[in-house]
Structure formats: structure tokens, C-alpha cells
Amino acid sequence: MNRRRHPYRFARPLLTSLTVATLAACSPPSPQPGAESAEPPAPAAGNGDAIDLIVQGDYIVTMDDRLSVIRNGAVAVDEGIIVALGSADQITAEYSATETLPAGNRVVLPGLINGHSHAAMTLLRGVADDLELMTWLNDYIFPAEVEFVDAEFVRIGTELACWEMIRGGTTTFVDMYYHPDVIAEVVEACGLRAYVSATVIGQRSPDAEGADDSVSKGLAFIGRWQGRNSRITPIFGPHANYTLNEEQLRATRDAANEAGVPISIHLSESPYEVEYSTQNYGTTSIEFFDSIGFFDGLTIGAHVVWPTEEEIPVLAEKKVGVIHNPTSNMKIASGISPVTAMLQAGVRVGLGTDGAASNNDLDMWEEMRLAAFLQKVDRMDPTVLPASTVLRMATRGGAEAIGLGDKVGALAVGMRADLIQVSFDDVHFVPTYDVMSHLVYVADEQDVASTVVDGKVLMRNGEVLTVDTERVRRDAKALAARIQGALAERNR
Ligand SMILES: [Zn+2]
């Protein structure tokens, strides 16, 4: 059996091939934990270097090791990479950019990382709420999916999700749904960064006949997309331990390692899943996965609400990236994930929204806020999960959890230029004592002004540039009307 550990690696950014400058006054970029040490960037190369983009902010929240914040700062971007950051005066003296996003009461920070989504389920947002899980699934979600989920549904739903994510400052997402080629095409067009899963499930699905078929179709999908676009990483998304048997789970892990890609899976989400594992395998869920070598290769585990005390160190040791989805866990009443204990044990924890049918939006700001509040009330301790920790989970921590910690999630020279500007114009930011506190406890997706991925501006002053929003709104409404009619007919 293939037992390579973490076969999936990114090349280091090619710092030496760029004209890179650092400015003495800015906070130095920090090395990424777990990454090989990068060569130090070359010294300043001269005045007025022509670059692609300068992004300015009243505050630059870097999310480096010291959580440095630069007042009246700017980030210089060229060829998709951060080439310098420092005071706005220094950067504008040093560089002349094709485009500048000015400060004007704006805060610059790394783009948010949504570690678990089913993007196209935006089309099922609000179709049924406040129901017991199995009623919700069996009477609403599954029938709607069987009847309506085809390539066109996935295209429109993913476009709608990408529109919302760009608007809300999410720059990377990890998706699990059907028709992955379509998802990847939408991501390619809209400019976001994503891991796109080929979903593997042991039953007939909208794009496969069963587990074997979905693994072989998944390998073909990965073959088509690996190396095609540096923003898009094709991966495997086996659904869960109760929808796949041991042999199918092993086969998926082997296929992922053979292709050199990570896996994203629902992990220890519900008491049902743990009970299922205990009854069928004699061990709890995470212990079972570990026993079959499933974590020997980068694994992104969504939810992880019910790990046992013994399982938490396993997650740390095997470097499983845990994605906490507080809204979905609360809405479906899955439970409260022991996030504080996992962080203390050294587990890599990021945040996600899950699908919009159980959220019901893709607002990562809300996830941050709820993650903090949920831990505080669960532990009856307001000191746990402070704002800076939660903001880290939504940015750099999320990047580390999914294996992108040396590429995105922090603002530092050599990192890919995935960053956002949040406007502090709204009354709810007045007054501002602590910028990090406001980002976590006040900001919403509507406050994001600009979104940049790989150095490309996807939203400027609140206007999404890479999605035809009026067409997507029209298409989504038309499809929703058909779904509503069919469900009304069925439930009559
Ligand atoms: Zn999910």
C-alpha cells in the first residue's frame, strides 16, 4: 500500500527570479511554519520600478508571526506575487503601478479561506429549513438533487457562490460537489483560487454510478486539471465513512496518493457517524480512518465535531487539516467542535461555511464571529478563541490546514497576492480602537470593498468584475422557480 506522507507539495515561490524589494521600515515578512526556509528577498532594486498593482490601506493586517499591523501602508504586487510591503509613502516612492487601489478608510488583510463548501448548493439556499436532518435530506435535498443537479445546475450554482465569495472577501475555497470539471471551469473564469473535489460516494450520484466509477472519473478529472491553472487544484472528495465502505475508502486514498493530490472528507461530523463506525468497525471514526492509513497523505477533515480525547493528538500528529463550520454545526444541531482543545494540541484548524443549504450564506465573517462565541459559551470562558486567533483561522491557519501555508494566508514578500480591502466606512465601525476586534466582531461580507487573487482585481469598490452578476441572478431565479414547482408537486 502506498504510505507516502504528504506527497502533495508546492514549489517554493521563485523569489530570486523576480525584482523583489523590501523596505527597511516595514515589518519583515515571516517564514512560514512547516515550510523550508526561503531565500531572503533581494535588496531594493531602484526607484519607480514598474509593477502591476499597489493596494493601500489605513491599516495593513499582515497575519505574520508577530501579527504585525502597518499604519498607512501599502502592498506592492507584480506578476501575481507580493514584491514589497511597507508604508504607503515608501511603496509609492519605490514603485509605479499600472493600477492602485487607494486606502480611503480601508483595511488590507489576506483573503479569507473557506475550507469547506458545496458551492452549487447556493441554489438550494432556503429551500427547506428548521427540519430534523434526515427529513431535511430525504424529503427536500436529495429529491431536489436527484431531479435537478446536472452540469447546468452546478454551473449556475457555482457562479452564484463565486459571486458571493468574491463580494465577501473569500479568495480560496475547498469545494465538494458533483460535475467537478464544471466547477473548475467556473473557478477558472471568475479568478478565485480553489481546491475542487471529485466527489466519491458509494451510491448513484449526479455524475457517477457508484464508488468505483467516481474514483476512475475522479482520476480522469485530476488528469485534465493538474498543472493546467496554478489557482485550481483538483483533489478527491470521498463523502464520509457511512457512504463508503473500507475498501472504497482505501481505494480513494490510494488513488489520491497515486495522483499526488489531497483529500477532503466529512470527518466525525455527527454522533451518527461515530456510532456507525463503532458498530461496523469496532472503533470510533477518526481512529478507524487512522487504522487504515487514510491520513497518510494530506487530509482535510470537515467538521470534526466529535473527536475523542485520544483522537485529537492523532489529528495533530498526522497533520490533518480540520475545518470548523460553526454555523452549519449549530443550524443542523450537529454539536460543538472542541476547537480550543484541538488548537492547544497543535491541530491545524481553519474555518468553512459548508453548503448554503445549511448555513444559509457563504459569509466567512459570520463564521469567525460564531466560532469565537461558540467556544466561549461552551467553555464558559470568554478568554478562549480571542479575535486574533479566529482571524488567523480564517486566513493563515486555514491556508496551513489545506497545505497552502507557504503560498497564501499572510501578507509577506514572496507570497501569492491574495488580499482584500475592507471598508471601515459603515457606522458599525465607529469608533475604531482595535482593527482586529472590528474585523472579527463587527465586519460582514457587505463591508468588503476589493478582492484580489493572484494579483488580479476581482472586485473593485464593491463591483464584482469577473462574474456576469445580472445573468447569474436571472439564471438562478429561473432554476429556483423550477425546483420550487417540483417540490410543491411532490409534497402535495
Ligand atoms: Zn459538507
Cα of 466 vs centre of ligand 1, distance in Å, is 26
How large a percentage of the chain has pLDDT more than 70? Answer: 90
Please determine, for residue 133, whether its predicted confidence score (pLDDT) is greater than 90: no
- pLDDT tens-digit map of 204-263: 889 999 999 999 999 999 999 999 999 999 999 999 999 999 999 999 999 999 999 999
Q: What residues are paired with 255 via a beta bridge?
A: none
Answer with the residue of higher pLDDT: 131 or 445: 445
Please determine, for residue 437, whether its predicted confidence score (pLDDT) is greater than 70: yes
Answer with the residue of higher pLDDT: 177 or 42: 177
Arithmetic mean of pLDDT over the chain: 90
Closest C-alpha among 22, 14, 34, 35 to residue 81: 14
Cα of 355 vs centre of ligand 1, distance in Å, is 6
Is the Cβ–Cβ distance between 208 and 221 less than 8 Å? no
Cα of 373 vs centre of ligand 1, distance in Å, is 21
CA distance 53 to 32: 24
Across the range 55-62, mean pLDDT stands at 98
CA distance 82 to 64: 14
Across the range 109-118, mean pLDDT stands at 98
Q: Which run of H or of E encompasses 370? A: helix 364-379
Please determine, for residue 39, whether its predicted confidence score (pLDDT) is greater than 90: no
Cis before residue 431, ω within 30 degrees of 0? yes
- Residue 455: partners with Cβ closer than 8 Å, 6 or more residues away: 52, 53, 77, 78, 79, 80, 81, 416, 417
Cα of 132 vs centre of ligand 1, distance in Å, is 16
φ, ψ for residue 111, nearest 5 deg:
-60, 155
* C-alpha cell at position 64: 505574520
Least confident span in 29-43, 82-96, 174-188: 29-43
CA distance 142 to 464: 32
Cα of 301 vs centre of ligand 1, distance in Å, is 10
- pLDDT tens-digit map of 266-314: 999 999 999 999 999 999 999 999 999 999 999 999 999 999 999 999 9
Cα of 102 vs centre of ligand 1, distance in Å, is 38
Closest C-alpha among 183, 233, 186, 239 to residue 214: 239
Cα of 113 vs centre of ligand 1, distance in Å, is 15
- Residue 401: partners with Cβ closer than 8 Å, 6 or more residues away: 115, 300, 321, 322, 323, 348, 349, 350
Cα of 69 vs centre of ligand 1, distance in Å, is 34
Cα of 354 vs centre of ligand 1, distance in Å, is 5
- pLDDT tens-digit map of 64-90: 999 999 999 999 999 999 999 999 999
CA distance 16 to 30: 17
Sign of CA dihedral 279, 282, 286, 291: negative
Least confident span in 11-20, 147-156, 389-398, 472-481: 11-20
Q: What residues are paired with 322 via a beta bridge?
A: 301, 349
Cα of 45 vs centre of ligand 1, distance in Å, is 47
Q: How many CA atoms within 13 Å lie on the side-chain side of 390?
A: 26
Across the range 406-413, mean pLDDT stands at 98
CA distance 71 to 57: 8
Cα of 448 vs centre of ligand 1, distance in Å, is 25
Cα of 268 vs centre of ligand 1, distance in Å, is 12
CA distance 422 to 416: 19
Cα of 145 vs centre of ligand 1, distance in Å, is 15
Cα of 209 vs centre of ligand 1, distance in Å, is 21
- pLDDT tens-digit map of 352-389: 999 999 999 999 999 999 999 999 999 999 999 999 99
Cα of 351 vs centre of ligand 1, distance in Å, is 12
Cα of 302 vs centre of ligand 1, distance in Å, is 7
Closest C-alpha among 398, 285, 407, 399 to residue 349: 398
- Residue 262: partners with Cβ closer than 8 Å, 6 or more residues away: 8, 195, 233, 235, 236, 256, 297, 298, 299, 300, 402, 403
Cα of 181 vs centre of ligand 1, distance in Å, is 19
Cα of 198 vs centre of ligand 1, distance in Å, is 14
Cα of 22 vs centre of ligand 1, distance in Å, is 41
Cα of 114 vs centre of ligand 1, distance in Å, is 12
* C-alpha cell at position 162: 463565486
- What CA dihedral angle connects 403, 159, 210 and 297, to 10 degrees? 0
Cα of 353 vs centre of ligand 1, distance in Å, is 9
pLDDT at 10: 30
Is the Cβ–Cβ distance between 484 and 125 less than 8 Å? no
Cα of 199 vs centre of ligand 1, distance in Å, is 11
Cα of 396 vs centre of ligand 1, distance in Å, is 21
Across the range 316-342, mean pLDDT stands at 97
CA distance 329 to 249: 24
Across the range 2-20, mean pLDDT stands at 31
Cα of 374 vs centre of ligand 1, distance in Å, is 19
Cα of 159 vs centre of ligand 1, distance in Å, is 18
Cα of 150 vs centre of ligand 1, distance in Å, is 19
Give the count of beta carbons closer than 10 Å to the beta carbon of residue 9: 12
pLDDT at 17: 29
Task: Give the predicted TM-score (pTM) of the model.
Answer: 0.90
pLDDT at 136: 81
Q: Model confidence at 47, in pLDDT bands (50, 70, 90)?
A: low
pLDDT at 237: 98
Cα of 264 vs centre of ligand 1, distance in Å, is 10
Cα of 93 vs centre of ligand 1, distance in Å, is 47
431 secondary structure, DSSP code: S
Cα of 478 vs centre of ligand 1, distance in Å, is 25
CA distance 8 to 192: 21
Cα of 306 vs centre of ligand 1, distance in Å, is 15
Cα of 96 vs centre of ligand 1, distance in Å, is 44
Is the Cβ–Cβ distance between 490 and 178 less than 8 Å? no
Cα of 328 vs centre of ligand 1, distance in Å, is 9
Cα of 240 vs centre of ligand 1, distance in Å, is 10
pLDDT at 328: 95
